[in-house]
Amino acid sequence: MADADTGRLTAVLGWTGRRSLALGAYLLDLAGFIIRALREWGGRARFFNRAALQTLTAQIIFTGVDALPIISLLAIAVGVSITSQILSLGQALGSEHDVATMLTDIVGMELSPLLTAIVLIGRSGSAIAVDMGSMKLRGEVEGLMLLGINVNEFFVTPRIIGVVVAQFTLAIYFAAIALFGGVLLDGMIFSVQYTHQLARLAEVPEPSEFVVFALKNLLFGVIIASTACFHGLRVRASSTELPQQTQRAIVTSLVLVFMVDGLLAVFSQ
């Protein structure tokens, strides 16, 4: 009996060790992929040529501009639901400054980047993975490499920069709609005047909070785009690999985004 228990414990420890090593190797590969892409792009005299600039522009339009309707609806829903609850709680407690602080911390600094990242993972991250994987299946990536064209410089880095710009811009837009729009809509729907909170919302955030907000969105954008490109380029010769790598890109992006969000929340206290 003791030998059986020892065997189970050894198996569990062995499985845990193998998974930990695999996770560490994956994170190192992903980090190396990001560093290599940014280094090859930054080593050029001209940061963007015509092809890379077209990829960057198309990525910003697809990820940022085309996502405005769904981000707007989600921000309005958050503003009406969560913002109204915090305002009601603040009215019961009687501390207006604490209400403004909770609104900016919870809705502005936390939910806005996180919910924006989740939308972009499902919408843009999956599209990037499918696009890169399809290029790999059709042999376009190998053909470009044979012509001496750097795939990272022309396709990977512009997508990373485009998603970072879109993530940062949409998170600010989300926060503005959810906070200021939420306060105004709550006053219209529930016939309670919360407009005096609008001035306080602009006064509450500290400079350090804006730094954390910017860093969070920067990391979220890099994670979303680089993970999608990384898994898209892992597609080899079978079409069945495309949905598998796309699924892995989505799941991995979600896990990494929540991990980074938790770490920043801990270290920014």
Residue 150 lies inside a defined structural domain of this protein: yes
Helices 68-78 & 112-120 angle (0-180, nearest 10): 140
129 falls within a domain = yes
Mean pLDDT across the chain, nearest whole number? 82
Range of the domain at 158: 69-267
**Residue 48: pLDDT band by 50, 70, 90 thresholds?**
low
CA distance 148 to 160: 22
Which tops the pLDDT comparison, 174 or 87?
174
- Considering the domain boundaries, does residue 19 fall inside one? no
Residue that the structure tokens 């306080």 belong to: 200
Residue 85 falls inside a structural domain: yes
Q: Is the residue at 221 inside a domain? A: yes
What pLDDT is stored for residue 230 in this prediction?
Answer: 92
Instruction: Tell me if 8 is assigned to some domain.
Output: no
Q: Is residue 141 part of a domain?
A: yes
pLDDT exceeds cutoff 60 at 248: yes
In a domain, 15, yes or no: no
Q: How far apart are CA 82 and CA 97, in angstroms?
A: 17
Per-residue model confidence (pLDDT) at position 258: 94
d(CA 250, CA 75): 22
pLDDT value for 196: 59
Cα distance between residue 74 and residue 178, in whole Å? 8
Q: What is the pTM of this model?
A: 0.86
The number of domains in the chain is: 1
Helices 241-267 and 112-120 cross at an angle (nearest 10°) of 170
pLDDT tens digits, one per residue of 134-156:
888 888 888 878 877 788 888 88
Percent of the chain with pLDDT over 70: 82
Per-residue model confidence as pLDDT tens digits over 210-236 = 888 999 999 999 999 999 999 998 888
pLDDT tens across 86-114, in order? 777 766 665 666 777 777 888 888 889 99
Instruction: Check if the beta carbon of residue 116 is closer than 8 Å to that of residue 163.
Output: no
Start-end of H helices in the chain: 2-42, 50-60, 68-78, 84-93, 96-102, 112-120, 126-137, 140-146, 151, 157-176, 182-190, 196-203, 207-232, 241-267
